[in-house]
Structure formats: structure tokens, C-alpha cells
Amino acid sequence: MFKAYQRPNHPGKGVLWSETVSVTKVNDDYTYTEPEAPYDEFFNSHIDKGTATFIVPEGTKPVEISFTSYSKIGDGNQISFDNKTDVYPPGTYTVQVDLPIGDWQTDIYLGSVIENITEAGHPLDKFIDSDYGLN
């Protein structure tokens, strides 16, 4: 049993209780589009310093994406300074991270946060786009 609440100004009166819920089966043949390389083109991404804009295309299943700013720690290695990770359904998104003082790099990539990167960079099967500079 469940209770249904009516929106303000709804013409109905009183409280609505129901014993059942009907569910209609959705098309089992529906297939999602999987992200494909080159990812910067697939997600139509753009990064300007600490701001990333990207599009998860219609028909794509929700995808986990991270946007991270890194600080250079020597020998080409970098450590995470700020990060935003979320699961994004189809739509257009703008995400912002703070930049460290000094040499910085911002990367957008598939999956959860990668705290440290070497001079080899992100795995190519995750990398979407990047920017870099001096703050």
C-alpha cells in the first residue's frame, strides 16, 4: 500500500491510497550506445583551465566521468589537486575544479578519480581531453 500526494492547486481532494502499482514492460531490445574513441569527439568536450564542458549523447547509458586538476610534483609526475566525479546521463554539462598555484594540468576522463599520474599520462582507454598552464 502507498500514499500518493497531489501537487498544490490539483483539482482532486483528500488523500489517495492505492493497493497496487501497474508496471509496463519496456522494450528489451533497446541497446545503448557505448562511448567510443576518440573520446574528445564522442563527448564533444572542451576544457578551458578549470572548466570542462562536454555532452553525453542521447542513447548513451549513464557514464562515470572525472574532471581533475593536477599539480606537478617533479619528474613529470602529477598529483590530484581538485576533482569532480559523477555519473552523467545524456545531456550537456559544465564542470569546474580549482587550479593549484604553479604548473597545472586539467584532465577529463572516464571512470573514478585517478589521484596520481606519471609522465606517461592517463590510460588511453579512459582519456577524453586536457588543458595545462602556469598559474
pLDDT value for 119: 84
* Exposure string over 68-89, b if 16+ CB within 10 A, otherwise e: bbbbbeeeeebebbbbbeeebe
CA distances from 2 to 11, 15, 20 (A): 20, 11, 8
CA-closest candidate to residue 133, choices 45, 50, 13, 20: 50
Contact 86, 54 (CB under 8 A): no
Specify if 31 maps to a domain. Answer: no
Domain membership of residue 115 (yes or no) is: yes
**Spans of the chain below 70 pLDDT:** 1-14, 26-29
Name the residue range of residue 92's domain. 39-134
Q: Quick check: is 24 in a domain?
A: no
Segment 61-100, tens digit of pLDDT:
999 999 999 999 878 799 999 999 999 999 999 999 999 9
Q: Is 82 contained in some domain?
A: yes
For residue 130, tell me if it sits in a domain: yes
In a domain, 26, yes or no: no
User: What total of structural domains would you count in the chain?
Assistant: 1
| CA–CA gap between residue 68 and residue 41 (Å, rounded) | 19
**Is 16 a member of any domain?**
no
pLDDT at position 93 is 98
Asked whether 85 and 97 are in contact (CB, 8 A), the reply is: no
CA 61 distance to own-chain centroid: 12
pTM exceeding 0.75: yes
**Residue 52 belongs to domain with CATH number:** 2.60.40
